[in-house]
Structure 1
C-alpha cells in the first residue's frame, strides 16, 4: 500500500464549498478518504464538492456551520468528536478577508476576521485534537497564507490572523506530536479564487504580483492538492509544526 493512500480514512474539510477547500476535499477523496464538508452556505445535497467526492467513489456529508458564530463552531466540534466513527484528518481551511487601510479598518471587520480565521479554528481543533491525541493518531492541516510571513497591504486583520495560524500550528504540534498527532499548515501563494478577485481585477497590483512569482502565473486551487494529500498521509508521519508554502516560488524571490 502506498504511504499516500488514504483509503478508509475520514476527513473533515472546512470551507469546502468552493475554491481551495473544494480542491482539498476532492484531492483527499481521490486519495481514498471519505469527506465531511463544512461551510456556512454549503448545500445539504447536490453541491459541486459533493459531486467531486462521490465521483471519486467516496462518501460525502454536508454540514452547514458559520465560523463567525463561536457557539455554532463549538457545537460542530462536539458533534464530530462524539461520533462513533472518529475523524482521522481535519483540514481547517475556513476563512474570510476584509480589505481596508489600517486607519479605516473597523472593529467589526477586525473582530469578524479574527473570529473566523483564528478563534473558530482553535475551538474546532481543540475538540477534535483532544480525541485524536487520546487515540494516538490524527492529521491536522491548517490553511495559513503568505501573510503568515509578510505584512500585506490593507489587510491588517487577515495578516494578524494568519500569523496566528502559523503560531498555533507550532504550539499544537509541540503538545500533540508526542501523542501521534501531526499538526501542520499549508501556506497558499497567490491563488485565483474569490478572495483574490480584487487583486486580479486591479491591473497594477496584478502585474506587480505576477512579476514576483518565479512560476510566472497565479496558482490554481488544484495546486494545493498534492500538499494536502501529503500532509494527511503516512508519508508525513515525522513532519510536525511546519508551514509548507505552495506559492510558485514567491517567498524565495
Structure 2
C-alpha cells in the first residue's frame, strides 16, 4: 500500500511532552483562527452564550436571510483518560496522549474547557474537527461525550473514540467501525450516553496485560518506562496518519492502513 508522504513530517514532533503534559497552553493557533472565520457557527457555539436582544433591536425588521446550505458537522475525536497530574503518562491515559499528539501535528490548540472536557477546534485537511479530553474521570466519560454530541448534533459515525485496550499487544492499533465496550468502563459510559448505540468508530491502543500477579488496576495506572515511550512514539505516528486517512479518505482505507502489518513494516 502506498503511504501518504505526510507521515514523514512527524519525525520531529516533541512526543516527550505528551508524557508530562497537564494543562493546555490556551493560545489561539492559526488553525483555530481559521475555524472562527470559515466556520463561524461551529467556532462560536462552544461559548454557549449570546447577548439578549434589546427592546430597540426587536423593533427593527431584519433583512431577509439568504438561503444557505446546512453547516458541515465537525468530526468529534475523543481521547479517554483521567484528569490530574498523577495520571499523566500512564497506560490508562494513552487516549489523552494520542489526542495531544494529533493536536500538535495538526496545529490545533486545546484551549477551551466546556461540557466537562478540554476541547480544541480546528481542521484536519479541509475537515472541521473537535478534539476532546473528558475531565470527568474515566468511568463517567459519557457525561461529557454525550453532552457534546447532543449539543452539536454530531452523527455517531463522526465520533471517533480513542482508548487503551488490555487485549491488544503493547503499542498496537486497531480501528473498528463499531462494537461493545469490551469491559472498558469509559466506553461503557459512552455507550450508555448514546442510549445503548454502539455504532460509532473507535481506535484501540494496545497496552498489553500485566505479567505475574500484578493487579490490573495498578497496571493500567502505571507509568510507561523509557523503552515503552520510545515504542509509543512510533505508534503515535501511525495513529496520526490513520486519523487523517479516516477523515479525508474514509473508514475502509484507514482500517486497511491501521490493521495491515505491511503499513507497520514500511514505516520501520
**What's the TM-score once normalised by structure 1's chain length?**
0.40
Between Structure 1 and Structure 2, the one with more helix by share is 1
